[in-house]
Amino acid sequence: MATHQADFLVIGSGLAGLNAAIALSEHGSVILLSKVQLGESNTAYAQGGIASVMSDEDSFDAHVRDTLKAGAGLCHREVVEKIIEAGPSAIRNLVETGVQFDESDQGFSLTREGGHSNRRILHAQDITGREIDRAFRMKLASTENITILQHHVAIDLILQDRFSESAVCIGAHVLDAHTGAIDTIGAQATLIATGGAGKAYLYTSNPDVSTGDGIGMAFRSGAKIANMEFFQFHPTCLFHPRAKSFLISEALRGEGGILRRRDGHAFMKEIHPLADLAPRDIVARAIDAEMKRTGDDHVCLDMRHRDPAFVAERFPNIHTACMSFGIDMTQVPIPIVPAAHYMCGGIQTTERGATSVNGLWAAGEAGHTGLHGANRLASNSLLEAAVVSQWASEDMVSWAKEHQSPAPQPWNSGDARTPHEAVIIAHTWDEIRRLMWNYVGIVRSRSRLEGAQRRIELIEHEVIDYHWKTQVTRDLVELRNIVAVAKLVIGCALQREESRGLHYNQTFPEQSEQLYDTQAQSVSHNDIMWSRRPLDGSS
Ligand code: FAD
Ligand code: SIN
């Protein structure tokens, strides 16, 4: 069991983590954790692109307006304005780091996606995330002062005075997944950049690493968590038994793609003035309703009216992936279904990533700044990850100059035994993911949510018991965090007695007149405080 000490600890190696680690390395020593190998993150799978105002025909006002509209009244307006106005400088930083976005004669080639009133999505073909990840890893390789620990899984944060006003994060306990040892890492300032939690649902566009570990760790540490009921379902993931919910980018609809029932009927024009480019929540619910009404197991996305050469050249990654499943998207409609995609809620932070716990910041999908409100506008998440991680790193530097943390205590394994019943973990994983899909999915009801809450409480008892009696493995760490995410999504959904944005509850189909965020905070080992936080600041 090793002990490491650094000025800064960054947990996660997607865009938020990589950007922060590089910025922090100019001011002190950094330890960067990656749960598996570098390059495996939601970031690396991003397709459509990153939204920013880059053309004279566009304006910050228009981008703010589109974001607020998608967010259905719950965006924090000041945060939206600040992050959107920082977009062009974040893009400059990405380009200086080496990211090569597609260009046209007029400069960057800008595409459109659902809910955007203008072309403002910078992209690298349909593999924008892979290009961002490539450029940042190249830069990382030539950056000094960063110790990269791959296959290291953060288990829990280490707190001084946990659950008190003066609680301060002084590092983390981390599983070395190769040796099974549990290392202790001390740091003056820690950033959670662990991404999303799509794996809490049975069907998801997210890779296996997205298990909400940062949410679980922060929650157990007493940090405030907000708006977890707002889980975004991407309308168009490939429907194929071997495709593992491969994403079919919204940019296809930005380039004219039409959603059709299996009988060929184009249904979106009857549902929203923007038809196929309506905001994601509306499109996902419309598909869900069509599938439930017709009994079909999928609907289709039709690109056949576009020039085949254009389609193959603009979307080479998606075209190749579909071909590998025997689907030529230039000739036949693509079978698609919705899948869990993006966690709009998260660890409550300021727009600069500060959490409610001293010494702890969060950025990217793990954080909740208030940018997305009740529904994220497409391609605003890479923007948020780039901007907030930059600002968080500046504040972490200032904090570290003024605070000296004590060395943390090593992990105590007690008499934990070697796990010999892996089936328990595999079964419980499956049970939770099915429960979330069937009871806490695109359309919810009070009775289903209450049923889910009863079940998750039982599962939680079993998992915590197993966790303390058994040696820690990656599967077990993730299972414990999936349980925490499920519990938070269900609890926040029960707090919200209305339908708004991504949260549609048949029992409360109307919007409330009050605008509030839901919040959860562990105030002791056994007690959670659930609350509603009015957006106007009143209590
Ligand atoms: P991630 O990129 O997910 O990185 C999280 C990192 O944390 C990973 O490296 C992971 O290994 C590590 N980690 C997790 N837990 C631990 C732990 N316990 N210990 C150590 N390390 C840990 N957004 C857009 O704006 N535009 C798009 O076009 C777009 N397309 C998308 C397409 C797909 C298929 C998906 C899944 C998402 C897409 N998104 C898109 C969303 C966007 O990619 C993510 O929100 C964003 O990349 C999140 O970045 P991040 O740095 O916060 O987290
Ligand atoms: C997509 O390419 O459709 C994903 C865009 C996003 O999630 O922002």
The span from the CA of 273 to the CA of 288, in Å, is 19
232 CB within 6 A, ligand 1: no
Q: What DSSP state is assigned to residue 119?
A: -
pLDDT of residue 206: 96
The span from the CA of 380 to the CA of 63, in Å, is 10
More confident residue, 482 or 421: 482
42 CB within 6 A, ligand 2: no
Q: Counting atoms of ligand 1 from 1, which one is nearest the CA of 383?
A: 25
Active site residue 444: no
Residues 6+ apart with CB under 8 A from 370: 74, 75, 76, 79, 80, 351, 517
397 CB within 6 A, ligand 1: no
Is-contact 234 342, C-beta < 8 A? yes
The pair of structure tokens assigned to 33 is: 């954790």
pLDDT of residue 105: 87
Q: Where are the alpha helices (DSSP H) in 86-166?
A: 87-97, 128-141
> Collapsing DSSP states into helix, strand and coil, what is residue 470?
strand
485 CB within 6 A, ligand 2: no
The span from the CA of 17 to the CA of 34, in Å, is 9
Output Rg (C-alpha) for the chain, integer angstroms. Answer: 22
Q: Where are the alpha helices (DSSP H) in 75-127?
A: 77-85, 87-97
The letter for the amino acid at 224 is: K
pLDDT of residue 235: 94
**Is the pLDDT confidence value at 393 over 80?**
yes
pLDDT of residue 487: 98
- pLDDT level of residue 525 (50, 70, 90 thresholds): confident
**Ligand closest in space to the Cα of 382:** 1
Cα-to-centroid distance, 250 and ligand 2 (Å): 6
**Is the pLDDT confidence value at 244 over 90?**
no
The span from the CA of 450 to the CA of 448, in Å, is 5
Q: Where are the alpha helices (DSSP H) in 359-421?
A: 380-402
**Is the pLDDT confidence value at 29 over 70?**
yes
Cα-to-centroid distance, 323 and ligand 2 (Å): 21
| Mean local confidence (pLDDT), 104-115 | 90
- pLDDT level of residue 441 (50, 70, 90 thresholds): very high
The pair of structure tokens assigned to 412 is: 């105590």
3-state helix, strand, coil in the chain (%, to 5): 35, 20, 40
| Mean local confidence (pLDDT), 96-116 | 92
For residues 379-390, one letter each, b for 16 or more C-beta atoms within 10 angstroms of the residue's C-beta and e for the rest, the string is bbbbbbbbbbbb
Residue in the block written with tokens 């059709």: 260
Is-contact 114 120, C-beta < 8 A? no
The pair of structure tokens assigned to 275 is: 């038809």
16 CB within 6 A, ligand 1: yes
Share of the chain above pLDDT 70, in %: 100
Minimum mean pLDDT among 13-22, 38-47, 175-184, 287-296: which range? Answer: 287-296
Minimum mean pLDDT among 147-151, 216-220, 288-292: which range? Answer: 288-292
| Mean local confidence (pLDDT), 35-46 | 96
CA 128 to chain centre: 16
The span from the CA of 239 to the CA of 287, in Å, is 13
Q: Report which protein residue has its CA nearest ligand 1's atom 26.
A: 379
- pLDDT level of residue 2 (50, 70, 90 thresholds): confident
- pLDDT level of residue 1 (50, 70, 90 thresholds): confident
pLDDT of residue 113: 87
Is-contact 237 247, C-beta < 8 A? yes
pLDDT of residue 334: 97
The span from the CA of 202 to the CA of 339, in Å, is 8
The pair of structure tokens assigned to 205 is: 């566009």
Q: What DSSP state is assigned to residue 409?
A: P
**Is the pLDDT confidence value at 150 over 90?**
yes
Q: Counting atoms of ligand 1 from 1, which one is nearest the CA of 51?
A: 25
Q: Which of 253, 260, 280, 448 is catalytic?
A: 280
> Per the confidence metrics, is the pTM higher than 0.85?
yes
281 CB within 6 A, ligand 2: no
pLDDT of residue 467: 81
pLDDT of residue 538: 67
Residue in the block written with tokens 């403002």: 120
Count the alpha carbons within 13 Å of 118 in the hemisphere toward its beta carbon.
19
Cα-to-centroid distance, 169 and ligand 2 (Å): 33
| Mean local confidence (pLDDT), 328-350 | 97
**Is the pLDDT confidence value at 438 over 80?**
yes
Q: Counting atoms of ligand 2 from 1, which one is nearest the CA of 236?
A: 3
| Mean local confidence (pLDDT), 75-101 | 98
Cα-to-centroid distance, 43 and ligand 1 (Å): 4
250 CB within 6 A, ligand 2: yes
pLDDT of residue 539: 58
CA 248 to chain centre: 18
Q: What are phi and psi of 533, to 5 degrees?
A: -115, 105
The pair of structure tokens assigned to 53 is: 């105002």
pLDDT, tens digit, for every residue of 253-280? Answer: 999 999 999 999 999 999 999 999 988 8
Is-contact 38 10, C-beta < 8 A? no
**Ligand closest in space to the Cα of 383:** 1
Q: What are phi and psi of 520, to 5 degrees?
A: -135, 140
The pair of structure tokens assigned to 473 is: 């493995």
Q: How many Å is the maximal CA-CA distance in the chain?
A: 66
pLDDT, tens digit, for every residue of 458-473? Answer: 999 999 888 888 889 9
Closest CA to 16 of 90, 68, 80: 90
Cα-to-centroid distance, 168 and ligand 1 (Å): 26
